[in-house]
Structures are given as C-alpha cells and as structure tokens.
Amino acid sequence: MVVSREQIAAAALRHLNQSPTASMEEIARAAGVSRATLHRHFATRDELVSALGWRAMEYWERAQKQAGVAEAIESGDPRTLEAALHALVIGQAEIADEHGFTLTANSLLDDAALMRRIDELEELELKLFAACQRAGILRADLPVRWISNTLYGLLVAAVESLRRGDVARRDLSRLLLETFLRGTA
C-alpha cells in the first residue's frame, strides 16, 4: 500500500506522543510501513524528529495567523485583542495533538534554526499577552512569561485529558479557554 510522507509523519507524531523514545522500528510499525521505507522518507531519526518539529511550528504559526494576533497587537484595541486571545487559545486546543511530543523533545534543542523559529512565535505571543495586560484583559500582576507557561501547561493537561479519555474532544476548547481565563474556582 502507498503511504505518503505526510501520513507517515502524522502517524509517527501520534505514536511519539505516547512513547517519546520509541525506536524507528516501532515508529515504522505504528505507521504501517517497514523500517526501510521509513528510512527512505526520513534518512535519520533526527531528520524525522526535526521534520515533526517544523510541522508543529507550521500548525502553531497558522493558529496565530488565523487568530489575527499580529494585527490585534498593532491595533491595541481591547475588543480586538480579546477576540485574538480567545481565538488563539481555541486554536491551540485544536492542534494540541501536534505539540505533545515536539514541545518536550529535547533533541530539538540542537536545531538552532528551529529554536529561532520557536522563539519568534513565542515572542509574538508574549507581546499579545502583554498588550492584553495593558488593555485590562489579562491580570497585570502576573509575569507575562508565567502566563505563557500557564497556557503551555494547560495544553499538556489537555493532551493528557484526551489521552486518558477524561474529556471529550468537543468540550476541550471551552474547558481550556474557561480555565485559562477564569481558573477553577
């Protein structure tokens, strides 16, 4: 059967999300493909992991674009900022699966170009959070980097909740946004 590079990448990510140290043999099996074929698409393990990293970045960037983050920051308008913030969080929830493994894969730390890209995307989000603080949409007494890490931590919780079946997929966006903004009390 023909399995595209994209399909293999998706299957690899799915499997690595649950078993981050899986061997190429395991990954190949999970993708329904032989180890030889896996190596034809991704010469080395590092290349595969790196590709997954870039793939996750694309999803992330797309979520930021669709939420209109950059424009909202530029406008400075409270209602625009709030809309972008909500759209971003919901967008993150929808692509949570794409981040589970890549955000904690420490072999990616060597890929300088990728790290720069991550920093850029993170930087933009920090600017959004800071603008929201100035506009009174987010609490100003929290360090902006803590807010960013909070969202990241809640994404981890979201992925875990899906994995364990604690939460239905369709409820996830609402739960994430609600909890992020208003907490649990």
Q: Does 24 bind DNA (CB under 7 A)?
A: yes
Q: Measure the CA–CA gap between 132 and 112, rounded to whole angstroms.
A: 30
How many H helices and E strands in the chain?
Answer: 10, 0
Using rule CB under 8 A, residue 106 touches a copy of itself: yes
Nearer to DNA, 40 or 169 (CB): 40
Q: Whose CA is closest to 29, among 51, 41, 12, 49?
A: 12
123 contact, one of DNA, a copy of itself, none, CB 5-8 Å limit per kind: none
Residue 38 or 89: the one with the smaller Cβ distance to a copy of itself is 89
Angstrom distance (rounded) from CA 180 to CA 132? 14
Pick one of 14, 35, 86, 127: the residue that binds DNA (CB under 7 A).
35
Residues 103 and 43: beta-carbon distance below 8 Å? no
Cβ 157 to a copy of itself shortest distance, Å: 3
What is the total count of residues that contact a copy of itself (CB under 8 A)?
A: 38
Binding partner of residue 158 among a copy of itself, DNA, none, CB cut-off 5 to 8 Å per kind: a copy of itself
Closest CA to 20 of 42, 44, 43, 49: 49
Among 19, 34, 104, 149, binds DNA (CB under 7 A): 34
Of these partners, DNA, a copy of itself, none, which one is at the site of residue 58 (CB under 5 to 8 Å by kind)? none
Residue 71 token pair: 């424009």
Q: How far is the CB of 85 from a copy of itself (least distance, A)?
A: 9
Q: Which two tokens stand for residue 8?
A: 């293999």
Task: Give residues with Cβ within 8 angstroms of 96, minimum separation 6.
Answer: 155, 158, 159, 162, 172
Q: Indicate the helix (H) or strand (E) that contains 125.
A: helix 112-134
Chain residues binding DNA by CB under 7 A are 1-3, 23-25, 32-37, 39-40, 43-46
Chain positions contacting a copy of itself, by CB under 8 A? 18-21, 104, 106, 137-139, 142-143, 145-147, 149-150, 152-158, 160-161, 164, 166-167, 171, 175, 178-185
